[in-house]
Amino acid sequence: MTTPGPVGPVGPDDHPENKPERAADYMNKRRPEPHTLEDLVAEPDPEEIRARNQASTRQAIIFAAIAVVGTFLIALALMLTPLERVQWALAASIFPVIMLLACAVIMVRKLNRYERWMPWMGIFWIPMVPFTVGWLIYTLGIVAEHSAQ
């Protein structure tokens, strides 16, 4: 919807508070256009949207760090005898897989809430997937070695 302005038609994207702040925000899912006055009133404040987007980036980075550090802490706590090594390999493999799946769920939820989701996609593909795959190759190798004996 555009309305005539002093210079020409003015649409909702012509106001600076409605424009995305960063390049990552241009990839956010677009909110549905309001069709009624109630829909317009129910729209969140642009400052609230910006704050949620900035928080999403911080949350994604912290999440990735917790996934890696948490995996190593679990690994250090459980590694002892050969049988315990197998138990360790299985137990230490659960956390990174859960964190990888949780990252995917959070990313889709951010996308569907029209929030900044690209940092979550970034941490999913850059640190999380390679780390989880590498970790599983190592730990499942321990299980395979023990089961071959």
Concatenating the DSSP letter of every residue in the chain gives: --EE-SSSEE-GGGSGGGS-SSGGGGGSPPPPPP-SHHHHHHSPPHHHHHHHHHHHHHHHHHHHHHHHHHHHHHHHHH--SHHHHHHHHHHHHHHHHHHHHHHHHHHHHHHHTTS--HHHHHHIIIIIHHHHHHHHHHHHHHHHHHHH-
Is 23 or 141 the better-scoring residue by pLDDT?
A: 141
User: Is the pLDDT score of 5 beyond 80?
Assistant: no
Average pLDDT, the chain: 81
For residue 4, tell me if it sits in a domain.
no
For residue 21, tell me if it sits in a domain.
no
Is 54 or 97 the better-scoring residue by pLDDT?
A: 97
Please give the Cα distance from 107 to 117 (Å, whole number). Answer: 6
User: Is the pLDDT score of 87 beyond 80?
Assistant: yes
User: Is the pLDDT score of 115 beyond 80?
Assistant: yes
User: Is the pLDDT score of 19 beyond 60?
Assistant: no
For residue 12, tell me if it sits in a domain.
no
**The dihedral sign for the CA sequence 129, 104, 117, 49:** negative
pLDDT per residue as tens digits for the range 50-62: 888 888 889 999 9
Which pTM does this prediction carry? 0.61
For residue 117, tell me if it sits in a domain.
yes
For residue 23, tell me if it sits in a domain.
no
SS3 10: strand
**Which range of residues forms the domain containing residue 96?**
61-149
Is 112 or 26 the better-scoring residue by pLDDT?
A: 112
**Least confident segment among 25-29, 53-57, 94-98, 137-141:** 25-29
For residue 103, tell me if it sits in a domain.
yes
Percent of the chain scoring above 70 in pLDDT: 78
Domain total of the chain: 1
- DSSP letter (8 states) at residue 45: P
For residue 114, tell me if it sits in a domain.
yes
- The predicted pLDDT at position 93 comes to 93
Q: Please, how many CA atoms are within 13 Å of residue 146, restricted to the half-sphere of its CB?
A: 16
- The predicted pLDDT at position 135 comes to 94
Closest CA to 142 of 62, 69, 86: 86
